Amino acid sequence: MVGILADRKVVIQLQQLNNWIRGKNLHINEKGICDKDDDGAVCVPDFSCCCEGVETPVETKMEFKEAYMKNDQDKIHCMLMGFLKTIPSAEVIDIKDYINKDKMKVS
């Protein structure tokens, strides 16, 4: 059963990444539902679902997805830190909490 749930989580994360690449910045929970009030919900990698005005080039989004597919944790971490630099400073504290809780970690 755990394997099935893990596979579902990966499918949902891939759907979120594909939507993000296409410009749909959806903050989703583990059921794939857009719900910013759910503590288990996850931001898109550049946090644009929660931070207005963040615009990441499609090429960069595709580079992130490639790192995700390769499970390249160093590249993912580096890119997440880079995305943090692009958001308004007033919103950084809440987002750093997400990263520190490993909510952005690849399963």
Tell me if 70 is assigned to some domain: yes
**86: domain range?**
2-100
How many domains in the chain? 1
Tell me if 106 is assigned to some domain: no
Tell me if 81 is assigned to some domain: yes
Tell me if 107 is assigned to some domain: no
* pTM of the predicted structure, to 2 decimals: 0.74
Tell me if 48 is assigned to some domain: yes
In tens digits, what is the pLDDT along the chain, a chain of 107 residues?
A: 345 445 777 888 899 999 999 999 888 877 766 666 666 678 899 988 888 888 899 999 999 999 999 999 999 999 998 998 887 765 555 555 555 444 444 43
* Nearest residue to 15 via CA among 2, 37, 4, 31: 31
Tell me if 23 is assigned to some domain: yes
Tell me if 105 is assigned to some domain: no
